Every structure is written in C-alpha cells, then in structure tokens.
Structure 1
Amino acid sequence: MSETLARLRLARSEGVGPTYYRRLLERFGSARAAIAALSRHPERFRAASEADCAREMAATAEMGGRFLFLGEPDYPPLMALLPDAPPVLLTLGDHASLAPRAVAIVGARNASAAGRRVAEDLADELAGMGIVVISGMARGIDAAAHKGALNAKGRTIAAIAGGLDIAYPPENAMLQARIADQGGLLITEAPLGTAPQARHFPRRNRIIAGLALGVVVVEAMEKSGTLITARLALDYGRELYAVPGSPADPRARGSNDLIRQGAHLCENAADVLEFLPQAPAAAPLFRPRPKPAEHPEPPPEAPEEAGSDAAQVLELLSTTPISVDELARRCQLSAPSLRAILFDFELEGRVQTLPGDRVALS
C-alpha cells in the first residue's frame, strides 16, 4: 500500500476527523503506521477499505481530478494553517488558481439584481488585478462572483459541497464546467458521487474562508449561511468586508450588522485592496515527520510495566480533568514524551482529551 493510498484511507476512516488526522500523522510519522496502530483498536476505529479508496483514486484521476493531502507541498498553504484543515482536498482544473492572493465573495442565494451586479462588478475588478476570486457555486451572489471573474478572464475557485462530478445547483452546471475548463478550479472535500446535503455546506464554507485572505459579504440575511462563512473568516484571522445595503431590504440586515460590528465597508475593489494583507511568507505550521522505510514496523504498544513512564502517568490520572502542563510538572516528563503517552492512551480508549488542553480517564 502506497503512502498516498494510506493517507486517503486514513482521511476516510470512521472516527478520524481533521484534528485527529493531523495528530495521528504527527504521532506516527506516516499514514501507514497510523493505520497499523488504529487496526489494534477495531472497537473504536474502522479504517476505510483499501479497495474502495483505490477505486476512488482511479475514478478521480480518470476525470482529470487530483488529490491534495495535508502536509504535502502542493496543499494550499493558507488552508494548511487552519486548526481544522481538511485532511484531503479533491480538485479539478488549474492549480495556479491556488495562489494565496485570493478574496472570497459570498452572499444571499435569493440576491437582488443590484446585489448580483455589485458582486459581478467587484469580482471583475479584482480578477482584472490578478486577485483570485473564491466563492461557493451557489445561486445568487456566488454565481455572480464566479461569472465576474471569468468575464475578466481571471481566475476563480469554486468550493463545492458535493463531489467533483455533481453539479449543484443543476442550473449552474454549465458555469461549473466553464470554471474547470477556463483556468479556474473546483475544490471539495467530498468523494466523487457525493450529493450535497445541508450538513455539507458549513464544511464547504470553511474551505472558502480558509483559502482567502479576505471575505466580502454582499447581501446576507440574519442567521444565514453566509454569516457562518463570515464568522469563520474572523476565527481564521482573515479580513472581513461587507457591502452596505438598504435598511428596508431584509437581505442586507446581516451584512449591515457586520459593518456595525467592525467589518470593512466595501463598495469597490479599492476598498478591498486597502486592507488586504500580503500572503503569509511562513511555511505551514504542520510538518509531518520524514516518511519511514518502505515497510515500517507497527509502533509498539505503550509500555506500562511498573515504574515505567506510562505507568507513572496513568497513576496520576483520574476522572477529574487535569491540564497537560500540570501533569507534565507532576511526572517530570518532557512535553513531547508525555503527549506521546497520552496519545497512546487515547487510542486505547483509556483517556479523553477535553477543552483547555486537559485530560482525564475515560
């Protein structure tokens, strides 16, 4: 099994989310070694089928798609900085669109004609200046933003909620194909054949916010999905902009409220560029260990003989949460050694990790 196939299996495994995927690779150094470790705990983890993942890779390659894995050089650097960065991304189109100088334009699906015009004109301006325009391929503002970038013969990225082979909404099928064919890029976490469902869209929104240096909101109702993207942008430390709208239009209440809370007022591309930072020069925070030998031995079980470090840590733990820093002081172990022991305990279901970097017996 290749390391690439193993990474896809690990990403598709039950019980392995974005944060746990990152921790597994940091702990074991490769997906193959991580799967070997997980296989010792079938009651808690079920690795994805090697055959199913091989078929997914072959089908994606057949349609011209690619896989981008967290921790590898071609993974988008801005996305890699996120604490919940997707373990794997599937793409179709030109990867030059993943240049970090990008701005997202998002907004209401039932947008007004004026709102669509603003989004299209803004995307046209930004794309003409070499800025990549990102949006979510939805009706209304998203579609207008993609069209504006294409009209300027610029680059645009469509973050979609389903598989690369599913056009959603159906009326955007031609636009989706046009993006992939004319220098843009389609990007998703979902395997081929995945039909978009309501639960997929918040995950799609984090891709939009994660790829962009700034997010522009054009029309958003209160408690709308667009505001989820705006909140994610703030959580990720990205610049947030909003286009003002009429107080009489409920579609502008969410965007107007963002301005009241401190978002940059945006009417044109100059307003965006005034606050848009340069792309981060630092490499991604996540660096996996060097790949092991071709046929690595499974990591050994954590030793628990009397007097061992693991036994000492276990003796100090209880069902009452304790911070990892406090535990390190009590057992006098280095932080990396302690975290390795705790991670093995967590794999075995003995320890649970709690908010605030605390641990307790399960």
Structure 2
Amino acid sequence: MTESQLAQHPLLPWLALQNTQGIGPVRALQLYQTLGEHWYRDQLLAQTKLNASQITALQTAHFDLLEAILKWQTALHQRHVIVWSSPDYPPQLKAIPASPLILFVEGDLSVLSAAQLAVVGSRHPSYVGKENTQRLIPPLVEAGAVITSGLALGVDGLSHQSALAAKGKSIAVLGSGLANIYPKRHTTLAARLLEAQGALVSECYPWAKPLAHHFPRRNRIISGLSLGVLLIEAAERSGSLITARYALEQGREVFAVPGAWQNPLATGCNQLIQQGAKLVLEASDVLEELSAFSVSNVKILRASAEQLLPYPELLDNVGLEVTALDIIADRCQQPVQDVLIRLVELELAGWVASVPGGYVRARRG
C-alpha cells in the first residue's frame, strides 16, 4: 500500500487519537461526537481546548503503526480491526463510558453482538468452585447465552471449556495482544474457541505483552460486552471484583454464587450479595433476570418422591466444603470402616465425591 493510500485509511485518525498524550477514551469520544468524523481537520481542532502539542500529535500520521496492524490483520482469515464508529462495533460495549476506541478481533465478528453473560472468578478455585462453574454454564448456554470471560487460569478458563463442552460459543477478552496469547497454556483453548465460532478480543495492539495495567482495563470490556456478570468464587481482594465494580458502573446485572463464610475464596461473592448482587444457586436465578435469553429450554430438575436420600444421617454431615473421613465418622458416631463403605456407595450413586482431604456433597442430577 502506497503512502498516499495509507494517508486515506480510515484507521489512521483513530490511531492518532489513541496515541495522543492526555486524551483518554472518554475525552476522545467527546471530541469525535462534538466535531464529527472529520475532527482532525485544522479548523475544527482550533475550536477545542486542546493545547498545541496535542493538536500536533492528533495530526501526526502513524504510518508505521498502521502498516504493522494491517500486516497482522491480513496474515490470517477472520482478523478484524474495528473502530468505535464502525457499524460492526458491538452496541452493548459502545454504550459504556470509556469504551475502547479500537478493538482487535479474531474469529466470528457477529458473536460480539450476541447476548452474552460474563463469568469470572478465582484463578485457584476450590473443588466446589470448579463444580459450580461446570454445573451452571450448560443450562445458560442452552438458553442462548454466549459465555464471555478473560481466558485466565481457574474459573475463566473453566467457563470457556464448559461453554464449549455444552456446544456453545464463547468470547475471550485478553489483557495482551492477540499475537501473544496469555497464559501460554491456554493457546490451545483459544484455538478451540475460534473453531467453535467464538472470538478473541483485545484493545491492545496485536504484539503487546501481557502487562499488569492491561488487565483492569480488560475487565471493563468483559463486563461491557455482557448483559450481566456472574462471579464464581472471589477473594476479598480479587480482580474479579474489579469486573463486578465495572458492571455496576455500566448498569449491568451482577450475580454471585455464595459460599461458606470460613472459605476465603467466598468472601468477595458473599460481600457482593450483601451489597445487593443477586444470589445464584441455579442457572434459572440468572436467566429470570435477563430477558434477552430464552428460558424455554431450561429444565429445572426437582427431586421426585422416589429420590429419597440414602443414609441421610451420613449425608447431613457431608457438605459443600471438604470434610475428612474421620470427622464424618465422628459426627455420625459410627465406625470409620462402616462410614467408608457407605461413602463408597454414595459416591457410586452420585451423592458425594471423593476429593483430596476427604469428601464433598455432589450435585446429583
């Protein structure tokens, strides 16, 4: 592409806007909305309160940067660069304050405008956190939700995997450029999302490294794309709580799965519920708040009269937190060997699960 062709490229003014010091997304969009699409012309910029160095920067042609972006975009099929004014820009995200000026997307562009639910949580979830993620996501996918998350270790990655296992679509929003998948171990997972007609999204330039300050900004995109945010295990100081805060600021629904107060991974979720987030026990708790999803296919299973609890005195002493065998036996006041035999029967029937350190109650059915 010649320099004269590059000079006419519609992305060029947005690159200048994004690379001008002292102009963030909010002010940049105000500038665009006030002056229109030709905001970078001399006579229009003179009407603003920008200083001389900012005006000079806005009129700087970033040809090298533009060529690098176009080289990345054309190297593979289904790579997209979307500016805020583009008709392809997801309307849900466009409605938030400080929405990104430029989005880099790989995958199915249409999925960005689908009804999405963000699912986030701990990078080191407990057994219960993992089980809740795998249990809640399939009926949400069945109801029509695209699952959006951050491709991180723990709940993020598990939520993407659960969506794919349920034959659904998923969107990963990265805190790095799309040429630098982070974490590296999720490179295969990212490829699977694309194969399932999902998408990878970032506001970072494709070659950008995963820097610490990228991730809080990434979280506002996760919530901004979605109708609501579901938190599954979050400690008191957690990046997931940043996503929840953004969701509240953006007018999105916030959902949280409760946990035992002794579990530090449940502290963040429990506090959100105290502050007004909706408590979630089943997928229907989310779906009834979000009319964008069809709930006609979601079947809420209820116990029938035939599903009487076996060994109820034993099951009463096995909760959702890990309980050691000797503690269960002590609570039941039964010999350890007898309790172990019954726990094996219950595990085979799907009532409990054996985990490191003891047993937990399983979500049978």
The share of aligned pairs that are identical, in percent, is: 37
CA distance in 1, matches of 2:289, 2:41: 42
Show the counterpart of 1:55.
68
Paired AA for residue 37 in structure 2: S
What is the CA–CA distance in structure 2 between the aligned matches of 1:34 and 1:236, rounded to whole Å? 33
Q: 1:9 to 1:42 in 2, by over 3 A?
A: farther
Take 1:38 and 1:51, find their aligned partners in 2: how far apart are those partners? 24
Mapping 1:84-233, distance limit 5 Å: 84-233=98-247
Cα gap change, 1:44 to 1:182, in 2 (>3 Å): same
Using the TM superposition, name which of 41-50 and 30-39 deviates more.
30-39
Change (3 A) 1:164 1:174: same
Match of 1:260 among 234, 256, 274: 274
The higher radius of gyration belongs to 2
Structure 2 CA distance for aligned equivalents of residues 225 and 194 of structure 1: 20
Where does residue 34 of structure 2 map in the other structure? 27
For residues 61 and 136 of structure 1, the distance between their equivalents in structure 2, rounded to whole angstroms, comes to 25
- Residue 71, structure 1, aligned to residue 85, structure 2: yes
Report the Cα offset of residue 53 of structure 1. Answer: 1.6
**Alignment map for 1:275-286 (pairs within 5 Å):** 275-278=289-292
**SS of 1:92 mapped into structure 2:** strand
Q: Which moved more, 1:16-25 or 1:66-75?
A: 16-25
Task: Tell me the SS of whatever aligns to 1:232.
Answer: helix
| Contact kept? 1:120, 1:146, Cα under 8 Å | no
Using structure 2 for the length normalisation, give the TM-score: 0.72
Task: Summarize the Cα distance change of 1:244–1:167 in structure 2 as closer, same or farther, 3 Å threshold.
Answer: same
Determine if contact 1:116/1:144 at 8 Å carries over to the other structure: yes
Q: Which has the higher contact order (CA 8 A, sep 6+)?
A: 1
Give structure 1 stretches of 5+ with no counterpart: 280-362
Q: In structure 1, how many angstroms separate the alpha carbons of the residues matched to 2:149 and 2:254?
A: 14
Q: Residue 14 in 1 paired to residue 27 in 2?
A: no
Poorly superposed stretches of 4+, deviation over 3 Å: 34-42
Q: For structure 1, which segment, 244-253 or 31-40, has the greater mean C-alpha deviation from structure 2 after superposition?
A: 31-40
RMSD (Å), alpha carbons: 2.1
Summarize deviations over 1:175-203 as a string: whole Å, max 9, x none: 11111222111001000111111100011
Shift of residue 72, structure 1, vs aligned partner: 1.9
Q: State which drifts further: 127-136 or 202-211.
A: 127-136
Q: How far off is 1:248 after superposition?
A: 1.4
Task: State the TM-score, normalizing by the size of structure 1.
Answer: 0.72
Deviation at 1:26, TM superposition (A): 1.9
Number of equivalences = 279
What is residue 326 of structure 2 aligned with on the other side? none
Tell me by how many angstroms 1:27 deviates. 2.9
Q: Aligned with 1:105: secondary structure?
A: strand
In the alignment, what sits opposite 2:311? Answer: none
Return 172-181 or 215-224, whichever deviates more: 172-181
Deviation at 1:100, TM superposition (A): 3.7
Name the CA shift for 1:35/1:12 in 2 (closer, same or farther; >3 Å).
farther
Aligned-residue offset at 1:269: 1.4
Kept in 2, the 8 Å contact 1:6–1:31? The answer is no
Asked whether the equivalents of residues 91 and 113 of structure 2 are also in contact (C-alpha less than 8 Å), the reply is no
Cross-structure match for 2:95: 81
Q: Could you tell me how far 1:212 is from its partner in structure 2?
A: 0.5
